[in-house]
Amino acid sequence: MTFIRTRTPRETMLAGIAAAARQPLVERPRAVAAAIAAFAADPALLEGMDCPCCPDRYIRHLLQSDEEAGYAVVALVWRPGQMSPVHGHKTWCAFAVHQGTLTETYYAPPEAEGDLPQPLSTQLLNPGQGSHGPADPGLIHRLANLSCRTAISIHCYGVGFDRFGQDVNEVHAA
């Protein structure tokens, strides 16, 4: 008897992200976002994986890092009330909500030195919904868990995991 092992939703999503990350740079964020969104709402996506939260801030859990292809995929766990700083990205990025609800707020860039970015619009993101963008620190946003339950989102950035600290976000305001 031959057994054929089927891929888990996470393995299938990561394979789709790997294929999308080989697209031309101008198409890559949208292609990666589609690969994430196709599986983000699947309850089995993180099955068997421990993704604890942190009481002080959202926390990243590495799902895959491909230094050669130049990207990394992480699951972010957000407790109620936790949010990112207001930031733009130095690299392309894509994400979708896996569990819970996140609020994404977009901001206008500061008009003058010392000014803060000003909110433009806000959208609620439910499981399977997300966003993407090119490397552009002027595209400013903030993600927040304004709900009363823990949220989890899946993110892919166009740098290896070891470079997240210096090469992903350009923080505009806390």
Question: Does the structure show a pLDDT above 70 at 29?
Answer: yes
What pLDDT does 168 receive?
Answer: 82
Radius of gyration from C-alpha coordinates of the chain: 16
Distance CA 45, CA 40 (A): 7
Task: Encode pLDDT of 87-106 as tens digits.
Answer: 999 999 999 999 999 999 99
When pLDDT is cut at 50, 70 and 90, the band that residue 4 belongs to is confident
Closest Cα partner for 75 from 106, 103, 52? 52
What pLDDT does 2 receive?
Answer: 67
Please report how many Cα atoms fall inside a 13 Å half-sphere around the Cα of residue 113, on the Cβ side: 0
Task: Decide which of 49 and 164 is more confident.
Answer: 49
What pLDDT does 48 receive?
Answer: 93
Distance CA 17, CA 9 (A): 12
3-state DSSP assignment of residue 154: strand
Residues 119-144: what's their mean pLDDT? Answer: 95
What pLDDT does 31 receive?
Answer: 97
170: its two tokens: 């350009």
Question: Does the structure show a pLDDT above 80 at 165?
Answer: no
What pLDDT does 170 receive?
Answer: 81
What pLDDT does 174 receive?
Answer: 56
Distance CA 145, CA 104 (A): 9
Query: Could you tell me which residues come within 8 angstroms of residue 45 by beta carbon, excluding any fewer than 6 positions away?
Result: 9, 10, 13, 39, 98, 154
Question: Does the structure show a pLDDT above 90 at 58?
Answer: yes
Kind plus residue range of the DSSP H or E element containing 70: none
Closest Cα partner for 130 from 91, 166, 149, 103? 103
Question: Does the structure show a pLDDT above 80 at 171?
Answer: yes
When pLDDT is cut at 50, 70 and 90, the band that residue 15 belongs to is very high
